């Protein structure tokens, strides 16, 4: 396992982050339908992750409505792991009950959620707290002040975000800079061969501001696992069979799968490992979040860290998965040509 610095924090994390969205199980909402892993299986997966060198573990309060956090915290205790050798990330924003204030990014909800997460995790601090999405009803300045203050309590070490548009990220960074508050240190976004949208604005922003990028769903919810082809549109054992998320252009994705499956055969590895290796090798990526239902699946995905793709292979993959050019991107590229030194 290799390790990278998390942005400009000085904190070092494994280039694979183990995501625990599959932990839990309840009948409530989409998160309950995804979480199926119980305590014994959770212990096995956490042990396999740590044994492989992973020190970065990701969860969220909304995953099975707190069950993922509870199972993760109990796993660390059951396995006798050293909490100080792990980087634990969780999230705040999603609705946790029918209570009118138990949702969003208000100061009220952020403080309440952190206390509840710490209780479930059986920990005294969270290493990385992500805001899990946009709250259109709370001013960004209120959210940033609350996040700064929660860090000052010692209950949270670093703050990061998921799923915000680039303009809002820069607004938040500007507000934090103006007031001398703690800033976001990393970005968790959907990024896969069939979902390269963040290359337009988020990746350049991260490079400019020295922010870590942690891709989620690098296999597009399992669509790039190799189980799906034009002749096999249902895997039979995948959450994507019932929860078609994240959205993908399936015809284009099938073309991508054809290429990565062929390259995988040349390396004697799965298509999934090639898809994961591609994400890991992209500029700005710090730690790729992978999930698993069982240890075999997890270990297969972890093996992707050993794969190095040649320039020709990367070119083939890039050509079949590239984003179409959009304005103003193509205009910026066109007008930048006269600033190159020949």
Active site members:
63
**Alpha-carbon gap, residue 305 to 284, rounded angstroms:** 16
With tokens 């507000």, the residue in question is: 175
What's the order of all strands across the beta sheet hosting 126-131? 212-216, 184-190, 156-162, 126-131, 87-92, 56-58, 16-19, 288-290
**Alpha-carbon gap, residue 249 to 323, rounded angstroms:** 12
**Alpha-carbon gap, residue 206 to 107, rounded angstroms:** 26
* CA distances for 312 relative to 276, 316, 317, 318, 319, angstroms: 17, 6, 9, 10, 11
126 φ/ψ angles, rounded to the nearest 5 degrees: -110, 130
**Alpha-carbon gap, residue 146 to 160, rounded angstroms:** 13
Within 8 A by CB and 6+ apart from 296, the residues are none
Reported as type and span, the H/E element at residue 214 is: strand 212-216
With tokens 């390396």, the residue in question is: 267
């Amino acid at each position: 396992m290799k390790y990278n610095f998390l942005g400009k924090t000085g904190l070092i994390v494994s280039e694979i982050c183990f995501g625990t969205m599959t932990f839990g199980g309840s009948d409530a909402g989409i998160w309950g339908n995804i979480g199926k892993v119980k305590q014994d299986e959770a212990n096995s997966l956490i042990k396999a992750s740590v044994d492989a060198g992973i020190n970065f573990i990701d969860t969220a309060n909304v995953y099975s409505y707190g069950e993922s956090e509870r199972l993760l915290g109990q796993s660390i205790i059951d396995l006798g792991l050293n909490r100080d050798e792990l980087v634990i990330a969780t999230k705040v924003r999603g609705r946790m009950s029918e209570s009118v204030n138990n949702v969003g990014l208000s100061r009220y909800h952020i403080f309440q959620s952190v206390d509840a997460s710490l209780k479930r995790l059986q920990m005294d601090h969270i290493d990385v707290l992500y805001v899990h999405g946009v709250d259109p009803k709370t001013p960004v300045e209120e959210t940033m002040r609350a996040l700064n203050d929660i860090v000052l309590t010692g209950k949270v070490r670093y703050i990061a975000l998921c799923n915000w548009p680039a303009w809002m990220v820069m607004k938040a960074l500007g507000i934090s800079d103006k007031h001398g508050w703690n800033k976001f240190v990393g970005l968790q976004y959907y990024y896969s061969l069939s979902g390269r949208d963040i290359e337009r604005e988020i990746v350049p922003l991260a490079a400019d501001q020295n922010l870590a990028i942690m891709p989620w769903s690098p296999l597009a919810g399992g669509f790039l696992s190799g189980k799906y082809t034009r002749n096999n549109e249902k895997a039979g054992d995948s959450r994507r069979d019932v929860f078609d998320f994240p959205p993908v252009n399936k015809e284009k994705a099938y073309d991508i799968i054809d290429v990565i499956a062929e390259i995988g055969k040349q390396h004697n590895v799965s298509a999934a490992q090639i898809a994961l290796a591609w994400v890991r090798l992209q500029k700005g990526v710090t730690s790729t979040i992978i999930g698993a239902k069982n240890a075999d699946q997890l270990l297969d995905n972890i093996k992707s860290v050993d794969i190095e793709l040649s320039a020709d292979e990367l070119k083939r993959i890039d050509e079949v998965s590239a984003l179409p050019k959009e304005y103003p991107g193509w205009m910026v590229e066109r007008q930048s040509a006269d600033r190159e030194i020949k």
